[in-house]
Amino acid sequence: MTPIVKILRAHEWMAFQSTGVFRGSPDDLRDGYIHISPPSEVAATATKWFAGETGLMALTLDADSFGEDLKWEPARGLLFPHLYRPLRLDEVTSARPLSP
Protein backbone atom coordinates (compact mmCIF):
# COMPACT_ATOMS: atom_id res chain seq x y z
CA MET A 1 0.00 0.00 0.00
CA THR A 2 1.21 3.47 -0.92
CA PRO A 3 -0.69 5.92 1.31
CA ILE A 4 -1.84 9.28 -0.03
CA VAL A 5 -4.10 11.82 1.69
CA LYS A 6 -7.09 13.89 0.58
CA ILE A 7 -8.10 16.77 2.83
CA LEU A 8 -11.81 17.54 2.98
CA ARG A 9 -13.79 20.29 4.66
CA ALA A 10 -16.45 19.16 7.14
CA HIS A 11 -19.36 19.76 4.73
CA GLU A 12 -17.54 17.90 1.94
CA TRP A 13 -16.89 14.93 4.24
CA MET A 14 -20.54 14.84 5.36
CA ALA A 15 -21.76 14.92 1.74
CA PHE A 16 -19.23 12.24 0.75
CA GLN A 17 -20.43 9.97 3.55
CA SER A 18 -24.04 10.56 2.53
CA THR A 19 -23.64 9.89 -1.21
CA GLY A 20 -20.66 7.53 -1.21
CA VAL A 21 -19.04 9.52 -4.03
CA PHE A 22 -16.78 12.60 -3.96
CA ARG A 23 -16.56 14.38 -7.30
CA GLY A 24 -14.25 17.07 -6.00
CA SER A 25 -14.02 20.39 -4.24
CA PRO A 26 -14.53 23.59 -6.24
CA ASP A 27 -10.75 23.68 -6.87
CA ASP A 28 -10.76 20.02 -7.97
CA LEU A 29 -13.68 20.59 -10.33
CA ARG A 30 -12.00 23.70 -11.78
CA ASP A 31 -8.74 21.83 -12.42
CA GLY A 32 -10.33 18.62 -13.74
CA TYR A 33 -8.91 16.23 -11.15
CA ILE A 34 -9.00 15.56 -7.41
CA HIS A 35 -5.99 17.08 -5.64
CA ILE A 36 -4.34 14.64 -3.23
CA SER A 37 -1.14 14.90 -1.19
CA PRO A 38 1.65 12.53 -0.30
CA PRO A 39 1.72 12.08 3.50
CA SER A 40 4.89 14.18 3.79
CA GLU A 41 3.08 17.20 2.31
CA VAL A 42 -0.22 17.10 4.23
CA ALA A 43 0.83 19.74 6.77
CA ALA A 44 2.11 22.10 4.05
CA THR A 45 -1.04 21.58 1.96
CA ALA A 46 -3.28 22.22 4.97
CA THR A 47 -1.37 25.37 5.85
CA LYS A 48 -1.35 26.70 2.27
CA TRP A 49 -4.93 25.90 1.22
CA PHE A 50 -6.94 25.45 4.44
CA ALA A 51 -5.44 28.01 6.85
CA GLY A 52 -7.90 29.10 9.52
CA GLU A 53 -10.47 26.42 8.65
CA THR A 54 -11.83 24.02 11.25
CA GLY A 55 -13.47 20.62 10.94
CA LEU A 56 -11.00 19.32 8.35
CA MET A 57 -10.71 15.60 7.69
CA ALA A 58 -7.64 13.75 6.39
CA LEU A 59 -8.68 10.75 4.30
CA THR A 60 -6.02 8.12 3.70
CA LEU A 61 -6.20 6.34 0.35
CA ASP A 62 -4.11 3.62 -1.29
CA ALA A 63 -2.41 5.07 -4.37
CA ASP A 64 -1.79 1.57 -5.71
CA SER A 65 -5.53 0.88 -6.01
CA PHE A 66 -6.29 3.63 -8.55
CA GLY A 67 -4.33 2.34 -11.53
CA GLU A 68 -4.05 4.74 -14.44
CA ASP A 69 -6.72 7.05 -13.00
CA LEU A 70 -4.07 8.41 -10.61
CA LYS A 71 -1.21 10.43 -12.05
CA TRP A 72 1.78 11.85 -10.16
CA GLU A 73 2.31 15.34 -11.55
CA PRO A 74 4.55 18.27 -10.64
CA ALA A 75 3.23 20.96 -8.30
CA ARG A 76 5.17 23.23 -5.94
CA GLY A 77 8.40 21.62 -7.18
CA LEU A 78 7.30 18.11 -6.09
CA LEU A 79 5.19 15.29 -7.48
CA PHE A 80 1.60 15.18 -6.23
CA PRO A 81 -1.06 12.53 -6.90
CA HIS A 82 -4.03 13.69 -8.96
CA LEU A 83 -7.10 11.48 -9.35
CA TYR A 84 -8.86 11.80 -12.71
CA ARG A 85 -12.21 10.36 -11.66
CA PRO A 86 -14.59 10.57 -8.69
CA LEU A 87 -13.48 9.04 -5.41
CA ARG A 88 -15.64 6.31 -3.86
CA LEU A 89 -16.18 6.03 -0.12
CA ASP A 90 -15.08 2.37 -0.14
CA GLU A 91 -11.65 3.55 -1.35
CA VAL A 92 -11.01 5.47 1.90
CA THR A 93 -8.79 3.33 4.13
CA SER A 94 -9.03 5.69 7.12
CA ALA A 95 -10.40 9.12 8.06
CA ARG A 96 -9.20 11.31 10.91
CA PRO A 97 -9.68 14.90 12.03
CA LEU A 98 -6.93 17.28 10.87
CA SER A 99 -5.87 20.59 12.37
CA PRO A 100 -3.86 22.81 10.03
Q: Structural domain of residue 19, as residue ranges?
A: 3-98
pLDDT, tens digit, 9 for 90 and up, residues 14-28:
999 999 999 999 999
For 79, how many CA atoms within 13 A lie in the half-sphere containing its CB?
5
Q: Reading across the β-sheet that carries 56-62, which strands appear in turn?
A: 3-8, 56-62, 92-98
pLDDT, tens digit, 9 for 90 and up, residues 52-72:
999 999 999 999 999 999 999
DSSP 8-state symbol, 89: G
Residues 24-44 have a mean pLDDT of 96
CATH number of domain containing 92: 3.20.170.20
Identify the band that residue 99 occupies on the pLDDT scale cut at 50, 70 and 90. confident
Counted domains in the chain: 1
This prediction has a pTM of 0.94
Helix %, strand %, coil % of the chain (to 5): 40, 40, 25
